[in-house]
Amino acid sequence: MAHQHGEGDKEIIYVGDSRIRANRPKMYPKDYSEFPGKTEPFFPNFLLKEWMVAVVVLVGFMSAVMAEEPPLGDLADPTNTSFIPVPDWYFLFLYQLLKFKWAGGPYVVIGTVILPGIAFTALLLAPWLDRSPERRPTRRPVATGLMLLALVATVVLTWAAYDEHEKQLATQPPPVQLGGPKGSIVAPNDPGYEIYKRQACVQCHGEKLQGINGPTLIGVGKRHNKEEIIKIINEGLGPMPPGMFQGTEAEKEKLAEWLAKQK
C-alpha cells in the first residue's frame, strides 16, 4: 500500500508490507460471570438440570407402565386359524406396506429390505446430502418436501393398518358355545378321553374341557348328539376349521360317543 504526500516539489511515499501481520488484539468471548442471571456453566449446572428432567420423565413413564397391566392375548396356538396377527404400533406402517403387491408376496424383499434400507441410509447420509446453510424450511424445499412426504406416508400407513385390523376383528364370529355351564368331566376313564387328549382339540378346548382358545365342551352332550358332533369334527364350526381330527374313523366314533356323554 502506498501513500503520497506532496510538500513543494518533494514527494514522500509510504509503503506498507501486507505480509506483516497487524498487531490486533484477539477477541475472546466474555466470561459468563459478566452476565449474572442470564448464563450458567454447562457443567455441572446445565447438565444437572438436564439429568433431573430426564429422571422425572423416566420415573413418570415407568410409573405409567407399572400402573397399567399390559394387554396379553391368548396362548399361542398354531391350529387357531382365526387369529389375526398384528405388530406393535411403531411397525404398523411397515406391516401395511407389505400388503401391497409390489412390496409383498414374491416381492417381499422390496418391502422388508430395499425400501427400509433406502430410508435408513438416507437418514444416515442426511448431513452430507443436505449441506445448505439455510435453516428456514421454505428455503430448503427438497429436504422439507422429503420430510413431509415421509411423515405423511408413515401416519397414513399406520392409520390404515390400525383401521383395517379393527375391521377384521369386528368381522370375526363370536366363540360358539357348544356346551352349557362348567362342571366335571363325565366318564374320565373312557377311551374317548384318551383319544381327545392326543388330538389338537385339547389345545383349544383344554384338557379339562374348560375351554382355552375355543369354547368349553362341558355339557356338550346336552346340545349335540353323536352324529352332530361327528359332523362338527368333519366340517368345523365357527372359528374351528374342518379336518382337525387326526385319527381313524373308529377313534372318531369313540371320541364322539364320549363327548356325547358330557351332559
CB 261 within 8 A of CB 209: no
CA distance 14 to 65: 80
Those residues with Cβ within 8 angstroms of residue 169's Cβ, 6 or more apart along the chain or in another chain: 84
pLDDT category of residue 52 using cuts at 50, 70 and 90 = very high
For CA atoms 82, 85, 89, 92, the dihedral sign is: negative
Give Cα 141 to chain centroid, integer Å: 31
Average pLDDT (3-17) is 57
Those residues with Cβ within 8 angstroms of residue 142's Cβ, 6 or more apart along the chain or in another chain: 130
pLDDT at 146: 86
Strands 10-15 and 2-7: antiparallel
b/e per residue, 115-132, with b = 16+ CB within 10 A? eeeeeeeeeeeeeeeeee
Strand, coil or helix: what is 149? helix
- Per-residue model confidence as pLDDT tens digits over 130-186: 788 888 888 888 888 888 998 999 999 999 999 988 887 766 554 444 433 445 788
pLDDT at 126: 81
Those residues with Cβ within 8 angstroms of residue 257's Cβ, 6 or more apart along the chain or in another chain: 192, 226
**pTM across the whole model:** 0.46
* Segment 59-64 long-range contacts (CB within 8 Å, at least 24 positions apart): none
Question: Would you put residue 159 in left (φ > 0), alpha (ψ -120 to 50) or beta?
Answer: alpha
Q: Which class for 140: exposed (0-12), middle (13-18), buried (19 or more C-beta within 10 A)?
A: middle
- Give the total residue count for the chain: 263
Average pLDDT value for the chain? 80
Residue 196 grid coordinates: 381327545
Angle at 202 (CA atoms; ends 198, 205), nearest 5 degrees: 160
Pick 212 or 162 by higher pLDDT: 162
- Per-residue model confidence as pLDDT tens digits over 222-233: 888 888 888 888
